[in-house]
Structure formats: C-alpha cells, structure tokens
C-alpha cells in the first residue's frame, strides 16, 4: 500500500472552466429519471433511489461527514468496504459516469484516456461533491489509467495504491494478495486509530453478507419478471449501495424487493431478453440500458462491475478467528471478480455463457467504452464462442456523450429486431 506520491505532485490543479458538475449531472440524469417516472408499474419505493441520484448520491456522504466519520474513497471493486467500516470510516465508490466531469478531467489528463478515469479525476479537480469529501482515497492497480491517476489524487488527499495480481491463478497470487490486504488493515488502523476486533469484524461481515442476499433477491426477481422494474432503476438501486451505509441500503432495497415479489408475473415473455456485459455503466451514463429498453428489450442479467458483479458474491468464512475473517474478506474481493485487467481472455466468456443459460438470454450486448481496450480485446473470442452457441452478440462502442445516441439507437433497434 503505497502512500508516497505527495512530494511529487505538490500543487493540486483547480478547474479553469468552473463547471458546476452537480447541475450538469442533474441535467443529464433528468432524461433517465423522467423516463423512469413513466415506467409502468414502477414500485413507489424506487423513488427514494431516484431522489438520491438527483442529488448526486451526496446526501448520505454529507451525513457521514457531519457525524465525524472519515470518508474513504474506493476506486473499482477490489478494496473491501468491510475493512473501511471496521476502521470506523465510511466507504464510498468513486468510479464516475459524469460526462461533464470528463471535460474537467481533460484539463489535467490526456484526452486519449478512458472517460471513466477522466470523470473520476474531473470530479476531484472541479472540487465539491463526494470526491472532495474524501479523507483518504484507495486505488487498486487494475488498469494503467487507474494506476496512473493515483499520483494526481495524492496532491489533494492521502492516496494509497493497492497492488493487484495480474492473474487469477490462485496458487501463484494468493499469498501476495493476503499480504497486501493485511497491510491495508494495518494502515487503516493507523489512519483512523481503530480497527474492529474479531467479534465486531464478524458482525460487519454478516451485515455485508446480508446485503448480498438482498442483491441476489433483486437479481432473481429481475430475471423472472424484468417488466416489473426498469433496469435503470435496478442499476440505480445497486449503485446507491456504493454511497449508502449497508443498514440503510438493505432497509430500502428490501422494500423494493417485497413490492416486486408481489407484482404479477407476465404470462408470456414477448420482449427480447438481453445479457449486458462489458465496461461499467455508472450514473448518469445510462445511455445504453435506456436505448435497450426503448427498443423493447429487457436486460435480464449483467456482468458489470458497476452493478450485479460488484455485489453478488458473499464473503465465505471458514475460520472464525481474526486472521481467518480477514482472509475470507480478502479472497472475496479478488477471485470472483470478472474485471478483465485480472482475468485471462476466455474466463469472462465462461461466466457469460453460464449466465446466459441461467437468465434465458436471447442475446448479449457488450458495452465498449471508448479508449478502454481491456474489454474490447476480449470481444473477438466472446463473439466466436457465442456464435457457436447460436447466441446473437452486439458490441456497442461509445462514450459518455449523447452525440452518437441516434446512431446507437438504430443499431440497438436492429439488434432487437434480429433477436425477435
């Protein structure tokens, strides 16, 4: 866990354009929120998540700050929020989907970097919002751009890098990863002055495990009856968990699940069932799922690190002592990951096939984010395997802007028509 960037970047950049990100994101998000409000049979309880999104998910983070909790910003899904909670701090995920923040990010980063990374950096450079509330930022060395923004961040706030193995081979990487995670626990303890003892850590793990059961419930409900909840609402709900404490998220999400369980099942599924894979889709960049639904399709499952994949797997504890609990958490956040920075090219394909079967998907759409190569490079293999199985596949390559919306609309509609 490295912390020594500060001396190299002593002067934090301040945005020259003075963009009001909150306002710009609200304008982008309103397109999707007004669509959701007109979605038939939408559960009333989903409006809580809509209000959160309208405020940029900042309200719970502000509350945590007012309570005196240190806020720890996490990039990607590899740093366990359980450890941050155990250190008496408040975890939030910083990966961002804001188109306006991309432009601010370009003031300090090269234009030819992926929009997600430029958006994260742009939020910090613009000031305000969740990213500026962070007392500490932890960035895993997943892809090169992520690794490379760590020194820029350290000009504003203490920034640590967690070194990830570049392969899923358990026998080669397990010890190094456990060492890295134990170091993280020690550093968090030093940073906040506390870390939960065994019993408290076990309770924290249980709480997050329970959150997983609610996520799985929602996931299955979507698969069975996708017409009862827009996938945009489903994504909003899951992404709210990146900012809300687990107790509050569970209470709110369980109400949505209960309403969906009571919703009438459709007699016959006429709409094409789509599995969404590829690069993360983060609020307010919901262009692709919106286009799929507008074209009459249902996203019934996904492998996105911004949605189901982030929250699906529970921590499996096999030894109840402190070291065993830390190990169980550490392993959960690495080995089930479907991040291509860490998998061999065909490993994500295996999971997609399994999920396509389980979700009875009629087709697979891959979200390709402009200038992100790690997903794109796997698509040739994915397309070939899916074609052998007779599953139609479409790669949608785009960015956070709306300029290509009409062009993508035509392509997505044609794909839905073909599936039908």
| Residues in contact with ligand SF4 by the rule CB under 6 A | 76-77, 95, 114, 116-117, 142-143, 145-146, 279-280, 305, 339, 341, 369, 372, 374
Q: Give the Cβ contact number of residue 232 at 10 Å.
A: 24
- Minimum separation from the CB atom of position 120 to ligand SF4 (A): 8
Nearer to ligand SF4, 46 or 341 (CB): 341
As a whole number of angstroms, the distance between CA 127 and CA 146 comes to: 19
Nearer to ligand SF4, 341 or 382 (CB): 341
392: Cβ contacts below 8 Å, ≥ 6 apart? 362, 363, 364, 386, 415, 418, 419
- Minimum separation from the CB atom of position 279 to ligand SF4 (A): 4
- Minimum separation from the CB atom of position 278 to ligand SF4 (A): 9
Of 85, 104, 82, 84, nearest in space to 15 by CA: 104
Point out which residues pair with 366 in neighbouring strands: 277, 395
Point out which residues pair with 137 in neighbouring strands: 73, 159
Nearer to ligand SF4, 76 or 231 (CB): 76
Nearer to ligand SF4, 94 or 325 (CB): 94
Q: What are phi and psi of 373, to 5 degrees?
A: -95, -20
Nearer to ligand SF4, 247 or 344 (CB): 344
At 263, list the tokens.
Answer: 């919703």
As a whole number of angstroms, the distance between CA 32 and CA 20 comes to: 20
Nearer to ligand SF4, 116 or 325 (CB): 116
As a whole number of angstroms, the distance between CA 415 and CA 216 comes to: 28
- Minimum separation from the CB atom of position 419 to ligand SF4 (A): 26
- Minimum separation from the CB atom of position 177 to ligand SF4 (A): 15
Of 23, 9, 80, nearest in space to 336 by CA: 80
- Minimum separation from the CB atom of position 164 to ligand SF4 (A): 9
First to last CA, the chain: 50
């Amino acid at each position: 866990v490295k912390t020594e960037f500060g001396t190299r970047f002593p002067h934090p950049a301040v945005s020259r354009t003075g963009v009001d990100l909150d306002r710009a994101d609200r304008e982008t998000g309103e397109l999707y929120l007004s669509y959701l409000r007109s979605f038939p049979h939408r559960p009333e309880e989903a409006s809580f998540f809509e209000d959160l999104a309208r405020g940029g998910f900042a309200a719970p983070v502000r509350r945590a700050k007012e309570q005196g909790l240190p806020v720890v910003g996490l990039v990607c899904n590899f740093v366990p929020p359980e450890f941050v909670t155990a250190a008496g701090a408040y975890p939030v995920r910083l990966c961002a989907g804001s188109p306006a923040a991309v432009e601010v990010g370009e003031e300090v980063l090269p234009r030819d970097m992926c929009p997600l990374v430029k958006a994260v950096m742009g939020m910090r450079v613009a000031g305000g919002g969740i990213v500026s509330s962070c007392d500490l930022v932890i960035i895993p060395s997943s892809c090169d751009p992520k690794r490379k923004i760590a020194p820029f961040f350290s000009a504003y706030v203490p920034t640590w890098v967690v070194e990830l193995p570049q392969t899923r081979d358990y026998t080669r990487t397990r010890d190094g990863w456990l060492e890295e995670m134990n170091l993280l626990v020690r550093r968090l303890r030093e940073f906040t002055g506390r870390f939960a003892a065994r019993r408290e850590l076990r309770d924290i793990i249980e709480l997050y495990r329970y959150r997983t059961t609610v996520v799985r419930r929602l996931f299955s409900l979507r698969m069975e009856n996708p017409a009862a909840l827009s996938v945009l609402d489903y994504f909003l709900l899951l992404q709210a968990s990146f900012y809300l404490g687990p107790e509050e998220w569970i209470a709110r999400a369980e109400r949505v699940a209960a309403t969906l369980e009571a919703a009438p099942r459709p007699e016959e599924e006429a709409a094409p069932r789509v599995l969404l894979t590829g690069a993360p889709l983060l609020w307010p960049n919901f262009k692709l799922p919106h286009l799929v639904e507008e074209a009459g399709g249902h996203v019934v499952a996904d492998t996105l690190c911004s949605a189901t994949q982030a929250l699906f797997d529970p921590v499996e504890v096999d030894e109840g002592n402190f070291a065993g609990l830390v190990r169980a958490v550490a392993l959960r956040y690495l080995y089930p990951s479907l991040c291509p920075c860490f998998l061999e090219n065909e490993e994500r394909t295996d999971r997609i096939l399994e999920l396509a079967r389980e979700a009875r998907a009629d087709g697979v759409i891959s979200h390709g984010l402009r200038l992100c190569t790690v997903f794109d490079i796997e698509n040739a293999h994915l397309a070939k395997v899916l074609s052998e199985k007779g599953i139609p596949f479409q790669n949608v390559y785009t960015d956070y802007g709306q300029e290509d919306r009409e062009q993508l609309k035509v392509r997505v509609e044609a794909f839905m028509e073909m599936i039908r």
